Chains A and B, each alone.
Chain A
Amino acid sequence: MNKSIVISDVDKIYQNGTKALDAINIDIMEGEIFALLGPNGAGKTTLIKIICGLTNMTSGKILINNLDIIDDYRAARKQIGLVPQELDTDMFETVWDTVTFTRGLFGLRENKPLIKNILNNLSLWEKRNEEIKNLSGGMKRRVLIAKALAHEPKILFLDEPTAGVDVELRQDMWNLVRSYQNNNVTIILTTHFIDEAEELADRVGVIDNGSLIVVKEKNELMSSLGKKQILFFLEEPLQFIPDSLSDFRLNLKKSNTTLEYTVTEKNEGVSVSRLIKTLDSNNIRFRKIETVQSSLEDIFVKLVTKK
Chain B
Amino acid sequence: MSTNFNSIGVFAIYKFEMSRFRRTFWQSLVTPIITTLLFLLVFGSAIGGRVGGIGGVSYAAFIVPGLIMLTVLNESLSNASFGIYMPKFTGTIYEILSAPLSPAEIVIGYVGAAVSKSVLLGLLILVTATTLIPISIKHPIIMLFMLIFIAIIFSMLGFIIGLLAKSFDQLQFFPLLIVTPLTFLGGAFYAIDMLPSPWQTLSLVNPIVYLVSAFRWTFLGESAVNIGSSLVVISFLFITGVILIISIFRTGYRIKA
Contact = CB atoms under 8 A, between A and B. Distances in A.
The answer on A and B forming one complex is yes
Interface of A: 14-15, 49, 52-56, 71-75, 77-78, 80, 82, 84, 86, 88-93, 97, 101-102, 104-109, 147
B101 to A, nearest CB: 7
A55 B2 contact: no
A72 B2 contact: yes
A72 B91 contact: no
B2 to A, nearest CB: 4
A88 B257 contact: no
B100 A90 contact: no
Contact of A72 (B1, B8, B96, B98): B1
25 contacts: A49-B257, A54-B94, A55-B257, A71-B1, A73-B100, A74-B2, A74-B102, A77-B98, A82-B94, A86-B91, A88-B90, A90-B16, A90-B87, A101-B12, A101-B15, A101-B16, A104-B8, A104-B11, A105-B9, A105-B13, A105-B96, A105-B99, A106-B100, A107-B7, A107-B9
Contacts of B256: 54-56
Interface residues on B, range: 20 to 34
Given A56-B256, A72-B2, A105-B9, A78 B100 contact: yes
How would you classify the secondary structure of chain A's contact residues: helix, strand, loop or mixed?
Answer: loop
Contacts of A92: 20, 23
Contacts of A78: 100
A102 B8 CA distance: 11
B201 interface: no
A101 B16 CA distance: 7
A74 B98 contact: no
Interface in B222-256: 252, 256
A54 B97 contact: yes
B197 interface: no
Given A74-B4, A80-B98, 11 more contacts: A55-B256, A56-B256, A75-B100, A84-B91, A84-B94, A90-B90, A90-B92, A92-B23, A93-B16, A102-B95, A105-B9
